[in-house]
Amino acid sequence: MKEVELSLKEIFALHSRINGDESNGGLLDSDLSMIERFWLNDLNDQLNRICGGVRNLRDDMIRRRGKPDSEGNVLIKATEEAELLIEGKTRKILTYTKEFLDFQSEYNQLMEESYKLTFNPAIEKMIGI
């Protein structure tokens, strides 16, 4: 087995490459040998656990720091209206809220954290690590 250390941001990108997204199929949609598919699924199990944990953490932090909207959904409001005086005229503009900027900054820091993955070298070239 081979070990590699990737940031959480890189892990999410690898997860997307393996599973695909709304517009593209992933490596698991490719014509693979049984051995390649076995080892790719093994790595994908690790990625699912890590990405799912990060998503759960993100959602939990939104529930803790957010506020309910008019429909009862808890969210961190991203923008708010502000007034700005430009050349003697008051203009309304949208600005990011402090709560959103703080949350985004902390989330981005989390996504830079490193995590060690293990995988079979047989799929190394395929996954591009």
- Range in 1-5, 18-22, 116-120 the model is least confident about: 18-22
Query: How far is it, in rounded angstroms, from Cα 117 to Cα 124?
Result: 12
Contact 4, 117 (CB under 8 A): yes
Question: What is the model's pLDDT at position 16?
Answer: 95
Q: Does 128 or 52 have the greater pLDDT score?
A: 52
Contact 32, 40 (CB under 8 A): yes
Length of the chain: 129
- Range in 37-41, 67-71, 103-107, 113-117 the model is least confident about: 67-71
pTM reported for the whole predicted model? 0.85
Question: What is the model's pLDDT at position 59?
Answer: 96
Average pLDDT, the chain: 94
Q: Is the pLDDT of residue 84 over 90?
A: no
Residue identified by tokens 């076995």 is 38
Query: How far is it, in rounded angstroms, from Cα 18 to Cα 30?
Result: 10
